[in-house]
């Protein structure tokens, strides 16, 4: 998927589900349930020893079975790892911290790079390095007041908030009210007990509810 489409979808839908599981089939079910719930951008996190091989198989599944879904990789720290996933075909890369070298390889590949930031200086440096969207992480530690405050001197900054965002009206209203471009939701969308029991209908419903809350806020 092209860069601009991914960024537009991220904002339009407003919710980025993020998930990791070593079992390919379970991951497929989770991604599919999220897709049925309305997700059109999905982040698979690079958090296991076999994450790369799982990602490659999932990407092939997404391209074949889930049209219109932008599928990317998260938890990338260095340019070498980023390049590996770029070569595999990732649609975008999310990093927990700011490493301009990752931004460089993403720029060459013309895919979105969403680096993690926690300060105004990091936001500026991320923009200088080519980031069009930055990730505020951990959101619950920094707080929504930070987003609102930085939108003053940087009104055009696009901030995706990850960490501590809840799939509730109160949480969605708080972050989008502060000026968030999108929010990332992980464990709150995919509780361990739900994954263990294979209740993918619950996941579909929770994703749909979260996306609808964004729509309600913007209405």
Helices (H), 66-99: 79-88
CATH of domain 3-218: 3.20.20.70
Which residues, other chains included, contact 63 with Cβ-Cβ below 8 Å and sequence gap of 6+?
A: 71, 89
User: Omega of the bond prior to 159 within 30 degrees of 0, cis?
Assistant: no
Mean pLDDT in residue range 7-22: 98
Q: How confident is the model at residue 111 (pLDDT cuts 50, 70, 90)?
A: very high
The pLDDT of residue 177 is: 98
What pLDDT score does 217 carry? 98
Mean pLDDT of 15-25: 98
- Are the CB atoms for 139 and 161 separated by under 8 Å? yes
Task: Quote the pLDDT of residue 14.
Answer: 99
The rounded mean pLDDT for the chain is 98
pLDDT (0 to 100) of residue 4: 97
CA angle 202, 208, 213 (to 5 degrees): 125
**pLDDT tens-digit series, residues 28-39:** 999 999 999 999
Average pLDDT over residues 169-178: 98
Domain extents in the chain? 3-218
Residue 67: per-residue pLDDT: 98
Q: How confident is the model at residue 107 (pLDDT cuts 50, 70, 90)?
A: very high
pLDDT tens sequence across 138-152: 999 999 999 999 999
């Amino acid at each position: 998927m092209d860069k601009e489409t991914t960024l537009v979808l991220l904002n339009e839908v407003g919710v980025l589900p993020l998930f990791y599981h070593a079992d390919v089939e379970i991951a497929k079910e989770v991604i599919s349930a999220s897709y049925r719930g309305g997700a059109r951008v999905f982040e698979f996190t690079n958090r296991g020893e076999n994450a790369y091989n799982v990602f490659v198989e999932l990407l092939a599944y997404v391209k074949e079975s889930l049209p219109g879904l932008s599928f990317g990789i998260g938890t990338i720290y260095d340019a070498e790892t980023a390049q590996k996933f770029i070569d595999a075909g990732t649609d975008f890369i999310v990093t927990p911290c700011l490493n301009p070298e990752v931004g460089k390889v993403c720029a060459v590949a013309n895919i979105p790079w969403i680096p993690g930031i926690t300060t105004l200086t990091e936001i500026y440096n991320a923009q200088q390095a080519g980031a069009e969207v930055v990730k505020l992480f951990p959101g619950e530690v920094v707080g929504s007041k930070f987003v609102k405050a930085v939108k003053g001197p940087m009104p055009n900054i696009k901030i995706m908030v990850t960490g501590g965002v809840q799939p509730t009206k109160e949480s969605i209203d708080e972050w989008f009210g502060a000026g968030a471009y999108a929010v990332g939701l992980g464990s709150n969308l995919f509780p361990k007990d739900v994954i263990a029991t294979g209740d993918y209908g619950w996941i579909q419903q929770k994703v749909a509810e979260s996306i609808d809350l964004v729509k309600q806020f913007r209405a």
